[in-house]
């Protein structure tokens, strides 16, 4: 794997600290997910998962992490290729369209923000409903 120092400075991504941390947050969370999954698999196998309160707390409190990892991964991809849209071919400033005004872009952005806000609130409501209802069929055996 070539390091950054193998490339001339003017080809470096523009925001290296943010790139560094978003990548490490993604990989760090990915590593945590592997550990949680291993622990969960082991507990399920020993039929202790539904009675292991500390583990259930870890599971519940981890629910925002995939969203954070996703966003950090996407940030990595977007920042890592700056200042290029297509590496070596199309610089980001050359990628704008003369036919789309700034107001147009802002309008679309606000539209998507609104749409995803509604979907996000719906998701939270549904997730809280599912958490409130608890696991559907837990046998005596699994409850421990
Ligand atoms: C386990 C360790 C992980 C490693 C080693 C890893 C590695 C990578 C690499 C190399 C990239 C490409 C960056 C680029 O464009 O050059 C990437 C992108 C990405 N990763 Fe990860 N990743 C890990 C975990 C995760 C996890 C747990 C998530 C989400 C739950 C995630 C979500 C993403 C997303 C959304 C992208 C951007 C994809 C795109 O838009 O092209 N990654 N990851």
The pLDDT tens digits of the residues spanning 75-124 come to 999 998 888 899 889 999 898 888 999 999 999 999 999 999 999 999 99
Distance of CA 134 from the midpoint of ligand 1 (Å): 31
Cα(114)–Cα(132) distance, rounded to whole angstroms?
A: 27
Pocket of ligand 1 (CB under 6 A): 26-27, 29-31, 33, 66, 69-70, 73-74, 76-77, 80
- Residue 125: what pLDDT? 96
Mean pLDDT of 58-72: 94
Residue 43's pLDDT band (cuts 50, 70, 90): very high
């Amino acid at each position: 794997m070539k390091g950054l120092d193998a490339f001339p400075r003017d080809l470096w991504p523009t925001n290296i600290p943010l790139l560094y941390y978003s990548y490490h947050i993604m990989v760090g969370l990915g590593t945590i997910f592997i550990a949680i999954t291993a622990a969960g698999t082991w507990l399920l196998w020993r039929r202790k998962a539904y009675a292991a309160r500390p583990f259930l707390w870890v599971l519940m409190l981890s629910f925002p992490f995939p969203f954070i990892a996703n966003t950090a991964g996407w940030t990595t991809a977007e920042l890592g290729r700056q200042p290029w849209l297509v590496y070596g071919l199309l610089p980001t400033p050359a990628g704008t369209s003369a036919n789309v005004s700034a107001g147009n872009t802002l309008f679309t952005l606000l539209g998507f923000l609104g749409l995803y806000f509604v979907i996000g609130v719906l998701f939270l409501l549904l997730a809280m409903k599912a958490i409130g209802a608890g696991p559907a069929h837990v046998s005596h055996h699994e409850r421990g």
